[in-house]
Homo-oligomer: A and B are copies of this chain.
């Protein structure tokens, strides 16, 4: 059994980790920390967990995380980078669901996240936890930077095209739409039901923190800089990201075959039949990414539609997938979930 700890279990990625780990046959959930809610039963805050999780939230100082085999950080940015080294030194493996270890360019990270990085050297060691790219490195990693939600949906959609070199890399467009849970479980007015409900808007058009992460990921594939316009939007659903991706074809290619071949062995990437339109609900609660590729009116613009559940493949599910890989378990352990539809 893998002894697991979770730091910061009161947010949406935290409760989602608990949902998945509660039924994981190889996981012994040891400790969940919360500074503000120490002493509260987890199932009191999240009644959905009644009968599945018996733990209380524990103050970080009393968590004894060093006794775990693996610790997930489901914390706001700025926490994991303070605590990761001690854990790693104690032999604990770490998966960070926040952004601290995602950007190799520390300067860029500090600019976008507005803080000084506490451990730049660990960034160099961290493995970017997108299994479809880095499965081998993940196996032996001590420290995983779990990808962001938008970056997961966007990278999986562009990957086959960029690897095959069939689109212009200088003028990519990612028009992405996210459910409101992506904003986290934070008391903020724009995320209120009466604000975000029955409403649709773009945000962060001038620049969003996930932009450099996506660019880094895509540049890793192309071997050089990419030009990307990334426009995120907020849509009134709880879970789900739909990324609509646009690229300019540089040569003729069987797009459907390209995508199917690229992902033929990927357990969590599903390429839909030609002409399909994936729906966010078709992955609700599951770790799948579903993709469709179009070439409207046979022109030179390729359109990729990519959907994930932002809390699963975009966060907690991908983290569990990474854990399974790290501990040499079947990759879909505890992730063999039929999406909830309707």
Contact = CB atoms under 8 A, between A and B. Distances in A.
B199 A280 contact: yes
A193 interface: yes
Interface residues of A, number: 88
Interface string A184-222: 011111011111111111110111000000000000000
Interface stretch (A96-104, A130-138, A175-183, A313-321): A175-183
A270 interface: yes
B235 A200 contact: yes
A32 B338 CA distance: 18
A124 interface: no
A165 interface: no
Assembly stoichiometry (copies): 4
Nearest to A196: B193
B338 A181 contact: no
Contacts of A301: 171, 173, 229
30 contacts: A12-B342, A47-B276, A48-B286, A48-B339, A50-B270, A173-B301, A179-B194, A179-B200, A180-B197, A185-B192, A185-B195, A191-B192, A192-B192, A193-B238, A197-B236, A197-B238, A197-B342, A198-B198, A198-B237, A198-B284, A199-B281, A201-B242, A201-B277, A202-B242, A203-B277, A205-B294, A233-B242, A235-B236, A236-B237, A285-B340
